[in-house]
Amino acid sequence: MPGKCYARCVSQDQFQYKEEQVIDKPASFRIEKIAAKYETVYDTVVVKAAYNKVVPVPAQFDVITEQQLVSPATKRWVKGKGDVNCLSQNPSDCEVWCLKEVPAVYKTVTRKVEKTPATTREELVPAITKVVPRKKLVSPASENKIEIPATYKTVMQKTLVKKGGLQEWKEVLCQQDVTDNKVKSIQMALIREGYDPGTPDNQMGPKTKEALVKFQQDKGLPVGNLNFETLKALGVE
């Protein structure tokens, strides 16, 4: 087309990038050891067994008070006074004797009378015990198998879409259009994109060309010459 310029450019391989989830670390297992559990219980231990012992039961007595006969009642003659009316001259004939009752004599006697005889009885002697603590197993030691899930990471999958390397005719900036201002715009755009074309001097020197080729290679653009695809990518009109 008149007024336009074209040049052969080496095309780069064309790739398509797609994010994919890949396994970073596969699933695994870990063993968690669970300690045995115990509780304290208290046992009652017999130190001395209970037994029966024989206990004597003494006899029971009642105290009785009673009158005991010392001498029984009797009769005896007691000489009395002479009879004043006696007519005998013999005093003996005038004697008076009286028969009197002599009461019985008693004494008070206290004595014990057995009420119940002595016996024995059995008495239970309680056992002697003590409380002893001990450890009782509640649950034995065990192992718990715990699954550790796989972890994933996002990677950029690179797929070749179009093989490069062939020389293609691409529209390029005509020589008369490669002005100082245009070169400076390219240099500033490269700096903005993170490439080093050297100090902007409006000249397409070796450092600027090196930075430009690196930019084209990184972006998958046709390499060589100021083709319009590169200019567009740089934002240079």
Residue 11: inside a domain? yes
Phi and psi for 179 in degrees, rounded to 5? -85, 170
Whether 78 is in a domain gets the answer yes
Q: CA torsion angle for 177, 179, 183, 188 (degrees, to 10)?
A: -110
Is position 48 within any domain?
no
Do you know the residue count of the chain?
A: 237
Both tokens of 158, joined, read 């690179």
Look up the domain containing 80 and give its range. 55-122
Q: 60 and 17 share a domain?
A: no
List pLDDT tens digits, range 27-60. 898 999 999 999 999 999 999 999 999 999 998 9
Question: Strand ranges (DSSP E) for 26-84?
Answer: 28-34, 37-48, 51-57, 60-71, 74-80
Residue 227 placed within a domain: yes
Chosen domain end from 104, 122, 140:
122
- Residue 165 pLDDT level (bands cut at 50, 70, 90): low
Q: What is the pLDDT of residue 192?
A: 93
Position 166 confidence tier, pLDDT thresholds 50, 70, 90: low
Determine the longest span between alpha carbons in the chain, in angstroms. Answer: 227
Q: Residue 36: inside a domain, yes or no?
A: no
Number of domains in the chain: 2
The model's confidence at residue 61, banded by pLDDT at 50, 70 and 90, is confident
Percent of the chain past pLDDT 90, that is, above it, reads 38
Query: Are 111 and 171 found together in one domain?
Result: no
